[in-house]
Each structure stands twice: as structure tokens, then as C-alpha cells.
Structure 1
Amino acid sequence: MLVRHWLRAQGICEYNEAKANLPLEGQVAMGIKFGREYNDIINDFTDALRGVEGCCEFLEMPADDWDAMSEEEQKECMKTLADDLFYGLGVEAQMSIGDCMVTHDPKRHLIRIDQGETLTTVIYLV
């Protein structure tokens, strides 16, 4: 519970379902065009981010605090991060998270997560 309070104080882990339901299928959110259900995109993005090493460092969270969180709390944080990154990628097409590069490819309507020279995940937007 203390970890959750710390995360909320940092403004990190408050996934907002109402916010997630704002964009409608086929609309544009902060410059990112998508045709899939927004929640499906965020769920795929969340799953992908959970496999990224160094996410807790990106959140400026000590590893001990991250490890003390339950799996559900960690997932909630990653879902919040996915939601924030989705909107951020509409402004800045490439962002570094942990040891990965997250890139919005508007021509192919997808988000790529690359680790070094290796493509690790593709999230399709349409």
C-alpha cells in the first residue's frame, strides 16, 4: 500500500479507464491514427512493456520498490505507462524506455519496440 501511495504521489500509476475510453475506433489520439479498439491496443502495449528490462528505472522507481509490488500493481503501472506513451508517441515519434526504443510508424500504422538492433514487439494500430 505504501508503494501505491508513492506511485500516486509521483503521478505514475493512475490508469484511468474513463481516459482510456475517450478515443473511438478509427479516430486520432494526439496524432496517432488507429482503427483497433483503444483498450486492445493498450493491453497489447502493456504486455509488451512488461517484458522490457529497466522499466522501473524509467519510472524513477527503486528496484526494491518495484519488486515489493504485487504482479497486479506492476501491471497497473505498465498499463499507465502504455497509455502515457501512446499519447507521447503522437508528439514525439520515438522514445527510449529502459534498454528499448519505442517508435510510432505512422506509414505502417504500428508501434515498434526494439531492443538494440533486435525487433522485439510490434503493436498494430489498425
Structure 2
Amino acid sequence: MGVKHAREYSDILGELAEAIHSIGDGYLFFEMEPADWAELEEGQRFELMEALADDVFYALGEDPVIHVGSGIVAYRPKHHIIEVSVDEKESRIIRLI
């Protein structure tokens, strides 16, 4: 099926990576230990989150809800958005058009 979008993919990916990076324990998706994550430099962490965002974007085409650490990433095709629930209080919206 795929995630339909009209915006530049690189713009969507950047926003999605930033939102996923906001999930405090998103690294658990990689089955990393907190100590391993802490050893990485910020640039390395963001690169991993960008790779994860790319994978999640394409996976949302098959499964509209994906758990990333304690957060949830959901594709809402009727609204043309991806919603990243960072925690119980914060959600980030990535517009696709």
C-alpha cells in the first residue's frame, strides 16, 4: 500500500527522525542497552534515529501503528499525517501534504 505523500521525502524524514528521537527510549527498538546508547555521541544517535525513521516510514505502509520504545508512531491516511506519540502528554504531527 505505502504511505502517500506530496511533500519532499527528505523533509518528512527529517521531521520524523526528530520526533522519534524525542521518544526517550526509542533506542530500545534496536534492542540497545541504555549504557550503549549513552556512549554514542549526539550525531551518532541522530543518525540511528534517521535510519529508524526511514524504516518506520516504509513499515507504516504495511502496519499503520508501530511501537518505538515507549512511544507509538501511527499513520493517519485520512488526515495525511504521521502522528508520533512521544509519551502520554506529547504528540508530534508530521504532515504528508
TM over 0.5: yes
2:55 alignment counterpart: 84
TM-score by structure 1 length? 0.72
Instruction: Name the Cα RMSD after superposition.
Output: 1.3
More relative contact order, 1 or 2 (CA 8 Å, 6+ apart) = 2
- The unaligned stretches of length 5 or more in structure 2 are none
Q: CA deviation at 1:118?
A: 3.9
SS in 2 for 1:92: coil
Distance in 1, matches of 2:53 and 2:88, equals: 22
Q: CA deviation at 1:119?
A: 4.7
Q: CA deviation at 1:116?
A: 5.3
- 1:1-126 correspondence to structure 2 within 5 Å: 31-115=2-86, 117-126=88-97
Deviates more, 1:59-68 or 1:108-117: 108-117
Which amino acid letter does the alignment assign opposite residue 28 of structure 2?
A: E
Which amino acid letter does the alignment assign opposite residue 11 of structure 2?
A: D
Q: Which has the greater radius of gyration?
A: 1
Q: Deviations over 1:27-50 (max 9, x none)?
A: xxx511100000000000011011
TM-score by structure 2 length? 0.92
Aligned residues: 97
